[in-house]
Amino acid sequence: MTADPPLVLDIDGTLTRPEGWGIDPRIFDPLLEWDAPIVIATGKAFPYPVALCHFAGIPELVVAENGGVVYTGDNVFFTADREAAEAVAREYEAAGYGLGWGPEDTVNRWRETEIAVQYDQPVEPLRAIAADYGLEVVDTGYAYHVKDAAPNKGEGVRTIAEHTNVDLGEAVAVGDSENDVSTFEVVDRSFAVANADAAARAAADEVLADAHADGTLALFERIQSA
The Cα 144–Cα 129 span in angstroms is 13
The Cα 199–Cα 192 span in angstroms is 10
The Cα 41–Cα 12 span in angstroms is 10
Q: Which of 4, 10, 12, 214 is catalytic?
A: 10
- Report how far apart the first and last C-alpha atoms of the chain are (Å, whole number): 6
Angle between helices 124-132 and 83-94 (to 10 degrees): 130
The Cα 145–Cα 139 span in angstroms is 7
Q: Is 24 a catalytic residue?
A: no
The catalytic residue positions are 10
